A and B are shown apart, each in its own frame.
Chain A
Amino acid sequence: QVQLQESGPGLVKPSETLSLTCAVSGYSISSSCYWGWIRQPPGKGLEWIGCIYHSGSTYYNPSLKSRVTISVDTSKNQFSLRLSSVTAADTAVYYCARLDSSWFFDYWGQGTLVTVSS
């Protein structure tokens, strides 16, 4: 059974960089599939952040592209998100998920709340 688990600081200061890791179990990240990050501000809807393939190929939401970096570590079976120059608007629950080849997210992590505040 595929499982994903996000980890990282729950509090980040404005202008600093948010860093999260998603550990994958029950499935090799090196197999086919893209892996993605999605976020949800409190009380609001879902926003796609970006995706990465095990080869390192990435694509990002144009609205966040200048601040986002997603990387993969196949040896640890995990992938990571970095979002720079954060503001209060980046406060959200951040989810990692597996993107099926038919372009839907079939497995999700439980999510982790990141608050941007001084």
Chain B
Amino acid sequence: QSVLTQPPSVSGAPGQRVTVSCTGSSSNIGAVYDVHWYQQLPGTAPKLLIYGNSNRPSGVPDRFSGSKSGTSASLAITGLQAEDEADYYCQSYDSSLSGYVFGTGTKVTVL
């Protein structure tokens, strides 16, 4: 049912930069609604990583950054570390559904 599409997986070597895309439509990302990102480590609850397209909560390393353009958004991880291996989800609001929507999720693997 996800209306936000993410690549199933991305990978990179330690120290590299990886990006995770999140593609939506004119009723969610392409409208006025912000995109937020969550990190889910294995066996744990999701944790807020980026809010309001590009803002980091206190405690989140500045290696993580977010952006939004048109009907898509991106999460970038620079200086990839082993501890970044996790599932990442984008989230927004959808006016057609009148509710919150999550992306399909992306597994980031550190080679």
Task: Spell out A's residues near B (CB within 8 Å).
Answer: 36, 38, 45-48, 50-51, 59-63, 95, 99-100, 102-106, 108-111
Contact = CB atoms under 8 A, between A and B. Distances in A.
Contact of A59 (B36, B91, B98): B98
B106 to A, nearest CB: 10
Interface string B82-102: 000000010101000111111
Contacts of B104: 45
Interface stretch (B12-20, B42-50, B71-79): B42-50
Contacts, number: 64
Contact of B2 (A45, A50, A51, A60): A45
A61 B46 contact: no
Contacts of A100: 51
Interface of B: 1-2, 33-34, 36, 38, 44-48, 51-52, 57, 89, 91, 93, 97-105
Contacts of A105: 36, 38, 46, 48, 91
The 8 closest A-B pairs by CB, nearest first: A104-B36, A46-B102, A48-B100, A108-B45, A45-B105, A104-B51, A111-B45, A106-B48
